[in-house]
Amino acid sequence: MKIRVDVSPDYSEKEIVIKSPEDDAELKELLDKIKNINNQLGKISGYIDDTVYSLTLNSILFFETDDRNVYAHTTNNAYLIHYRLYELENSLPDNFLRVSKSSILNVDEVVSLTRSVTGNLVQFKESYKTLYVSRRFLKGLKNKLDQKEF
pLDDT digit string, tens, across residues 95-141:
888 999 999 999 888 888 888 777 888 888 888 988 998 888 888 88
Query: For residue 9, how far is the Cα from the chain centroid?
Result: 32
Is 65 contained in some domain? Answer: yes
Domain of 56, CATH number, reads 2.40.50.1020
What residues make up the domain containing 109? 38-147
| Any domain includes 84 | yes
State yes or no: pLDDT of 13 exceeds 60. Answer: yes
Residue 130 lies in a domain: yes
Which residues are CB-neighbours of 143 under 8 A, at least 6 positions away? none
Per-residue model confidence as pLDDT tens digits over 20-70: 888 899 888 888 887 767 655 678 889 999 899 988 888 899 999 998 899
Task: List C-alpha distances in Å: 7 to 2, 55, 65, 69.
Answer: 17, 29, 43, 42
pLDDT for 39 equals: 58
| Residue at 17 is within a domain | no
Q: How many domains does the chain have?
A: 1
- 33 lies in some domain: no
Domain membership of residue 62 (yes or no) is yes
